[in-house]
């Protein structure tokens, strides 16, 4: 008997009968990533936590891989799409509630919105996330951050569902937060409880607005891209202090701003951002990443490692070398 795959219409039909949210077949993932890149997949838009658990149980029973998607702002989907169920966490799982300084944030809430709404209510701690265009869930998984603030600074606990559909309340100390990652395992994040501090709302709003302006002026924020393509390298002790230090500085100092591969180019605004100029593909992004990595290594002896998650056809994360 041939194994069930996420592309089977029977799989989608069975799932549809078990959830309240929408199940779309052949849905272009380009619609759901900030790169505007990615082929088709079967996508569930869960409207409740029960939908998520039911989908995970279904996948576990029939052996179909799955992928949890937030706002798609830190990943590159393959041009051929995914042969995995994509569970897109958004509306329905985007609550925001407060009790005695503890805020429960739904994973589907956009982080900039969470930042603005808590700041406007006079609570500081996540207001600096206004410039990170991902979801709360993606922010937790990536331990995203900017301007010196990270999710791990405020997280008290994380509510997850595992691959068998079981709920877990993970204390922050058990979430394995390190720089731009967590160790929550293959789970779906449903929400997080964060502890914020009461501050002057007008001052917070002013700071939030000025950080947002700064972001828009320094990065191609409103163009299709995935933020930083490469992590900042760990430099040798004898690295010239007057030389480049960040990935963007290395790429710029190698003269690669504006370099293109098909429809994707190194941004002339910020060299560690690659922008899709309209008809870019995942193959173009990977070509450009490889060229940039080898030119920087030749000139500076520094190897850049991807920050963007390169998603493989089964929803797993792949390396640049595995992607041909």
List residues with catalytic annotation.
Answer: 180, 228, 307
In angstroms, the CA 115 to CA 93 distance is 17
68 binds ligand FAD per the rule CB under 6 A: yes
Cβ 4 to ligand FAD shortest distance, Å: 22
Query: Which has the closest alpha carbon to 88: 47, 53, 120?
Result: 47
Of 30, 34, 118, 267, the residue at the interface with ligand FAD (CB under 6 A) is: 34
Cβ 121 to ligand FAD shortest distance, Å: 22
212 binds ligand FAD per the rule CB under 6 A: no
65 binds ligand FAD per the rule CB under 6 A: no
In angstroms, the CA 37 to CA 186 distance is 24
Report residue 57 as tokens: 């149980």
75 binds ligand FAD per the rule CB under 6 A: yes
Question: From the centroid of its chain, how far is CA 285?
Answer: 17
DSSP 128-193: GGGG--SBHHHHHHHT-EETTEEGGGTEEEEEEE-TTS-EEEEEGGGS--BTTB----S-EEEEEE
**Helix and strand totals (H; E) in the chain:** 7, 19
46 binds ligand FAD per the rule CB under 6 A: no
Cβ 319 to ligand FAD shortest distance, Å: 14
Q: Which is nearer to ligand FAD, 228 or 254 (CB)?
A: 228
Cβ 46 to ligand FAD shortest distance, Å: 10
CA-CA-CA-CA torsion sign (15, 187, 81, 129): positive
Q: Which is nearer to ligand FAD, 2 or 222 (CB)?
A: 222
Q: Which is nearer to ligand FAD, 142 or 172 (CB)?
A: 142
Q: Which is nearer to ligand FAD, 34 or 193 (CB)?
A: 34
């Amino acid at each position: 008997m041939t194994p069930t795959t996420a592309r089977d219409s029977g799989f989608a039909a069975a799932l549809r009968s078990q959830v309240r949210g929408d199940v779309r077949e052949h849905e272009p993932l380009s619609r759901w990533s900030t790169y505007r890149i990615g082929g088709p997949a079967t996508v569930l838009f869960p409207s409740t936590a029960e939908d998520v658990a039911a989908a995970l149980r279904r996948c576990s029973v029939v052996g179909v891989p799955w992928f949890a998607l937030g706002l798609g702002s830190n990943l590159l989907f393959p041009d051929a799409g995914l042969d995995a169920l994509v569970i897109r966490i958004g509306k329905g799982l985007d609550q925001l509630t407060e009790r005695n300084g503890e805020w429960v944030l739904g994973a589907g809430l956009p982080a900039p919105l969470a930042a603005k709404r808590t700041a406007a209510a006079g609570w500081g701690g996540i207001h600096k996330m206004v410039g990170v265009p991902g979801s709360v869930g993606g922010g937790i998984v990536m331990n995203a951050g900017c301007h010196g603030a990270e999710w791990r600074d405020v997280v008290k606990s994380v509510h997850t569902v595992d691959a068998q559909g079981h709920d877990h309340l993970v204390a922050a100390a058990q979430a394995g937060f390190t720089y731009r990652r967590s160790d929550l395992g293959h789970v779906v994040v449903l929400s997080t409880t964060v502890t914020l501090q009461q501050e002057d709302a007008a001052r917070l709003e002013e700071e939030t607005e000025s950080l947002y302006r700064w972001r828009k002026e320094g990065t191609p924020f409103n163009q299709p891209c995935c933020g930083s393509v490469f992590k900042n390298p760990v430099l040798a002790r004898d690295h010239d202090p007057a030389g480049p230090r960040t990935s963007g500085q290395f790429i710029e100092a190698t003269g690669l701003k504006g370099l293109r591969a098909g429809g994707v180019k190194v941004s002339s605004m910020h060299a560690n951002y690659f922008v899709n100029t309209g008809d870019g593909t995942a193959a173009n992004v990977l070509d450009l990443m490889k060229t940039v990595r080898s030119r920087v290594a030749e000139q500076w002896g520094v190897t850049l490692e991807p920050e963007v998650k390169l998603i493989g056809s089964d929803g797993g994360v792949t390396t640049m070398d595995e992607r041909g």
